[in-house]
Amino acid sequence: MTPVLVPSGGSPETLGATVTAEGVVFAVYSETAEWIAVCLFDAGDREITRFRLDGREGAVHFGLVGGLGAGARYGLRADGPWAPERGLWFDPDKLLVDPYARRVDRVFHRQDSLGRPRGSGVDTAPDMPKAIVPGEPRAAANPIMSAPGLFYELNVRGYTLLHPDVPRPLRGTIEGLMSDAVVKHLSRLGVTTVELMPVAAWIDDAHLPALGLSNAWGYNPVTYFAPDPRLAPSGMADVRALTDLYRAHGIGVILDVVYNHTGEGDAETGLTLSLRGLDAPTYYRHFEADGRLRLVNDTGTGNTLRCDHPAVQRLVIESLRYWVEEGGVSGFRFDLAPILGRTPGFDPEAELLRMLREDPVLKAAVLVAEPWDPGPGGYQLGRFGEPFMEWNDRYRDDVRSFWRGDGRMLGRFATRLAGSEDVFGESGRGPAHGVNLIAVHDGFTLADLVSHASKWNIPNGEDNRDGHDHNFSWNGGAEGRTDDPDILDRRRADMRALLATLFVSRGTPLLQQGDEFGRTQAGNNNAYAQDNATTWVDWAGADHGLIGFVARLVALRAAHPALRADRFLSPEDVDWLRPGGGQMADADWNAGDADVLGMCLREGADVVLVWFNRRHIAVDAELPRGDWTLVLSSADGGEIARGRLILPPRSVSVLVLAERVQAAAKPMSS
């Protein structure tokens, strides 16, 4: 049957493309467009017809196309003023992706045509992916929505591209994450929640093609409903298969989502792909200068979503629901989360944040904020409130500083071990709302943290100006790669000490892909543009001894509520000990050269003693009274004799009272 526009048909109620008994209803939001058309394409990517939507209710343009069904390929065109000085970029020669597209037929690639001004005479349809009309929705998923015990951050593409036990056709895809070898590895580690770096369809940043680089991380989205075809060739069906499988293994899946900007970029080098061509003043924040509207750039990427506008709020909420109900994901980590609450300054009670807290679907999901953005007043750690968890960079920096050897760190170090009450206590949340991290995608890997005193981002093509300069890192005696066995031993000891610190701290631990076996990025601490062996996880080079050590740490934490209780430590819960015996005094905390700390935790009948020794020599520590058993040492050695323990250099040692030794925490060394 030939598609035909049904006069005065359709409804503005549901945005996007919706299959009905009469055909497909299209509905698009634009306050400023004069008209919007739906263009249909055949299997050869030829435009076969277009229909101007003949219905309008408020800002919603809508219409019904009869003779059409699921699987049809389409795009949008919109017309109105071409007036960039007023934030208007209408050009009917630009084919646009529906913001509510559930699936796109191919990857977005930068092309000159996509950024040309109106009147250039170039139709961009050949250079644009097409949206695919969705079929009937699947039955609503039943995702895991319990509090995570261990986050594991991974990049879908880079995680399996070099995995020898993943079938080659599946490497670099979501389906590759369903391979037995991957599931077994995550299960062995005790991962409860996998955090996938962005999977929504994205496009390269403007400057990368000229450098021969491409975006490896995905933090440059074009769509918010459609998965990227590189990762999910079958669209949301791949995501649902993954979440169903992982749920069967007790693992939830959350998504890193980017509701702060889009890949359309700035006014100078940007592209017209979707929101800009439909209604830029509605979707993007602007400010007036010299009589012109200019894009706000609180994200550092050229544009900023207008999250205080109802249309943007609807886009965010409905797309998040879709990932939960259709895709089965358990929650979300919000990149540059203060943007969600900017009005333009950050307000923790902003409308979109309120909607996230109260939405009947989303309020039960795992919600994690990256609580900073590059804009004015963008650092908002601790201000998101219930039910949000937050990435805790103070934990990262203070733990790194302690192990690097910085002076006067014991007090801050102990505060982080105890759950960062200074950050989360005022809001009434517990330590578990803080996501403790040593290393994540944005920065050094764990191995590079102890191998590089300075970043090495030259391959990114920005003369080493990009990426963090303050990494609180060290190199063990030589910068970067070395064959010196003594330096390598020191680095291995430091990695184990850092990992042990992470898992004995109150709060929710996060582990970055490959840090459990010593993955390196050769000192690149901003490897977003390295879709190559720099970011592809090197499974062949894995340190299997370190993997086993991390698995034991996770089991130890699970066996001892004293290590993971969601309560800030009070004097009844902890004794802070000095190695010479007795509790820490004020003078001990303030000593500039203090390098050793004991932490004796009590949670009911569970009593755990942890010693931290950052010195490069062994230390003789007096133990409290009791029959103690050493259950874990991050380094070789650690002998108990006559009520004392020899703490190995650069080590963490964990002891429990003998009557509390459990099977999951049997005596062990490195």
Q: Which residues are known catalytic residues?
A: 335, 370
DSSP conformation letters of 571-599: TTTEEEE-TTSSB--HHHHH-TT--EEEE
Spatial distance between the Cα atoms of 626 and 643, rounded to a whole number of angstroms? 8
CB-based burial of residue 526 (10 Å sphere; 0-12 exposed, 13-18 middle, 19+ buried)?
A: buried
Joined together, the tokens standing for residue 113 give 């045509």
Query: Is-contact 176 163, C-beta < 8 A?
Result: yes
Strands 4-6 and 60-66: antiparallel
- Give the Å distances, CA to CA, from 310 to 265, 313, 416, 448, 501: 22, 5, 39, 44, 44
Q: Helix (H, G, I), strand (E, B), or coil: what is residue 502? A: helix
Bridge partner residues of 64 (DSSP) = 6, 25
Distance CA 262, CA 223 (A): 8
Residue located via tokens 């770096």? 197
SS3 state at 652? strand
DSSP string, 127-179: GS--EE---SPPPPP----SPPS-EEEE-HHHHHTT-TTS-GGGTTSTGGGGS
β 619-622/628-633 pair status:
unpaired
The span from the CA of 651 to the CA of 494, in Å, is 8
Task: Report the candidate in 323, 300, 426 with the shortest Cα–Cα distance to residue 372.
Answer: 300
What is the enclosing helix (H) or strand (E) of 194?
strand 193-196
> 40: burial class by Cβ within 10 Å (0-12, 13-18, 19+)?
buried
Neighbours of 65 (CB within 10 A): 26
One-character DSSP codes across 243-290: HHHHHHTT-EEEEEE--S--TT--TTT---SSHHHHHHHHHB-EEEET
State whether residue 331 is helix, strand or coil.
strand
What 3 state SS string does 333-376 have?
EECCHHHHHECCCECCCCHHHHHHHHCCCHHHCEEEECCECCCC
How many Å apart are CA 564 and CA 193, to the nearest integer?
Answer: 16
Rg (C-alpha) for the chain, rounded Å, is 27
